[in-house]
């Protein structure tokens, strides 16, 4: 059952078409991320759902109710902003209670709800503080509590973590996801950080130029990108030029037999892609000669930069204390399985 439905959404600012025929059905309780580069229209879609912008055409439906023409204050949608947007003149508790007061919730009930929310975000004792007395991470958690206190039908978050330090950003990811699961609230999360989108979401919408290029689970989007844009935008990717002949491909002259799962190409030149973790040192189903150009130490992972068939590619391997990385400039072999090849047609 679709709970939040965005259909045939179009938005233009003057002659600038910012959102183009955007469709997205979202299940109740689902966590969906809009992922895309700056200016691709993520915020615009979110603001249309919230009611801050009206679409040029198309509609937004929540729980069967068409809300396209509704004012933002009548939609019962919670929103968290990148800039926190806490009311500076109100304490934390008053901020969280704001929406309840507006709705006329009885005082005792409102107080109980505020306490519950502050417990939920792990700041039960900070109700009396003012926003300027909180760290960025705390402010954003209060903003989340404030949005959730009114029990909104849908929660919208616009890059809520991008103003925070790297460490807090990562820990807040799982905290937000946990709270979202606990409340079972339908959530749309906007980000330009692919790691954020992939790690938090039930489904990811990869956007480019106002279009939803691919919608799928993080697993699908990462492993089976359907367009060149998605393949290059999500994750690191090694691109090879290949030639197709009737049965299979040739990469740098080495024949590759494509399995059924990988769509066979018709013929001529095309691009194929491989994730860094699909490559390994030593021979494999397909083996190519390479030279080591650089080694990056990323903790649990070693990323080798290799030159293969004239192109620089990345290879990820687990860091093992008993297997030091190969020396720079050494000639090695890299292997991969044809199953992991992604043929790019977009």
Partner 1 sequence: MNRVWSWLALGVGLLYFFLPLLGTLEFSLRKRKGEYSLDAYTAVFADPAFRATLGYSVGMALLTIVFGVLLVVPTAYWVRLKLPRLRPWVEFITLLPLVIPAIVIVFGYIRLYNTSSFLPLTGSASGTNLLLMFGYATLALPYMYRAVDTGLRTIDIGTLTEAAQSLGAGWVTILGRIILPNVLVAVLSGAFLTFAIVIGEFTLAALLNRPAFGPYMQLLGANKAYEPAALAVIAFAITWACMGLIQLVTRFSNHTRVNA
Ligand X SMILES: Nc1ncnc2c1ncn2[C@@H]1O[C@H](COP(=O)(O)OP(=O)(O)OP(=O)(O)O)[C@@H](O)[C@H]1O
Binding site for partner 1 (CB under 8 A): 50-52, 71-79, 81, 83-89, 98-99, 102-103, 130-132, 143, 146-147, 150
- Selection from ligand X, Mg ion, partner 1, none that 35 binds (CB < 5 to 8 A by kind) is none
Q: Give yes or no for residue 40 binding ligand X (CB under 6 A).
A: yes
Contact (Cβ atoms closer than 8 angstroms) between residue 334 and residue 299: no
| Closest CA relative to residue 32, chosen from 123, 157, 161 | 157
Question: How many whole angstroms separate alpha carbon 344 and alpha carbon 231?
Answer: 8
Residue nearest to ligand X (CB): 43
Q: Smallest distance, Å, CB 183 to partner 1?
A: 17
Q: How many residues bind Mg ion (CB under 5 A)?
A: 1
- Per-residue interface string for the shown chain with ligand X, residues 19-38, x marking contact by CB under 6 A: -----------------x-x
The nearer residue to Mg ion, 43 or 180, going by C-beta atoms, is: 43
Question: What is the residue-wise DSSP string for 146-184?
Answer: HHHHT--SEEEEESTTTTS-HHHHHHHHHHHHHHHHHHT
One residue of 6, 32, 42, 120 binding ligand X per CB under 6 A: 42
- Selection from ligand X, partner 1, Mg ion, none that 50 binds (CB < 5 to 8 A by kind) is partner 1
One residue of 4, 6, 9, 18 binding ligand X per CB under 6 A: 18
The nearer residue to ligand X, 13 or 87, going by C-beta atoms, is: 13
One residue of 8, 23, 39, 257 binding ligand X per CB under 6 A: 39
Q: Between residue 172 and residue 231, which ones bind Mg ion under the rule CB under 5 A?
A: none
Instruction: Give the C-alpha distances (Å, rounded to integers) separating 239 from 261, 273, 293, 312, 337.
Output: 19, 5, 17, 9, 15
The nearer residue to partner 1, 75 or 203, going by C-beta atoms, is: 75
Question: How many whole angstroms separate alpha carbon 140 and alpha carbon 74?
Answer: 24
Cβ neighbors of 54 (< 8 A, separation 6 or more) are 48, 68, 69
- Packing angle, helices 136-149 and 107-120, rounded to 10: 140
Q: Give yes or no for residue 43 binding ligand X (CB under 6 A).
A: yes
The nearer residue to partner 1, 179 or 288, going by C-beta atoms, is: 179
Question: How many whole angstroms separate alpha carbon 171 and alpha carbon 70?
Answer: 36
Rg (CA), the chain: 24
Distance, first Cα to last Cα, the chain: 31
One residue of 43, 194, 214, 278 binding Mg ion per CB under 5 A: 43
Q: How many residues bind ligand X (CB under 6 A)?
A: 12
Q: Smallest distance, Å, CB 103 to ligand X?
A: 29
Interface contacts to Mg ion, rule CB under 5 A: 43
């Amino acid at each position: 059952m679709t709970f939040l439905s965005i259909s045939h959404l179009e938005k233009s600012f003057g002659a600038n078409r910012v959102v183009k025929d955007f469709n997205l059905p979202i299940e109740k309780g689902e966590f969906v991320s809009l992922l895309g580069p700056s200016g691709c229209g993520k915020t615009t879609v979110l603001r249309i759902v919230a009611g801050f912008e009206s679409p040029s055409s198309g509609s937004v439906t929540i729980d069967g109710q068409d809300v396209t023409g509704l004012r933002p204050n009548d939609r019962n949608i919670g929103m968290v902003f990148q800039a926190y947007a806490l009311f500076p003149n109100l304490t934390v508790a008053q901020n969280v209670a704001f929406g309840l007061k507006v709705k006329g919730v009885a005082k005792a009930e409102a107080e109980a709800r505020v306490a519950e929310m502050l417990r939920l975000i792990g700041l039960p004792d900070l109700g009396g503080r003012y926003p300027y007395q909180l760290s960025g991470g705390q402010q954003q958690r209060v903003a989340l509590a404030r949005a959730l206190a009114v029990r909104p039908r849908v929660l919208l978050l616009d890059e809520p973590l991008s103003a925070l330090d790297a460490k807090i950003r990562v820990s807040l990811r799982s905290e937000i996801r946990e709270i979202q699961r606990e409340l079972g609230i339908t959530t749309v999360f906007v980000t330009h950080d692919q790691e954020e989108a992939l790690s938090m979401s039930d489904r990811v919408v990869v956007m480019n130029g106002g279009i939803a290029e691919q919608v799928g689970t993080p697993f699908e989007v990462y492993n089976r990108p359907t367009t060149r844009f998605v393949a290059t935008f999500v994750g690191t990717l090694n691109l090879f030029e290949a030639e197709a002949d009737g049965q299979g491909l040739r990469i740098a002259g080495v024949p590759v037999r494509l399995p059924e799962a990988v769509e066979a190409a018709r013929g001529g030149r095309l691009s194929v892609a491989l994730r860094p973790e699909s490559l390994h040192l030593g021979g494999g189903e397909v083996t190519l000669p390479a030279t080591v150009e650089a080694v990056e130490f990323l903790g649990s992972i070693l990323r080798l930069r290799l030159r293969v068939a004239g192109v620089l590619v990345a290879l990820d391997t687990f860091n093992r204390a008993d297997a030091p990385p190969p020396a720079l400039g050494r000639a090695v072999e890299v292997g991969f399985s044809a199953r992991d090849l992604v043929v790019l047609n977009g």
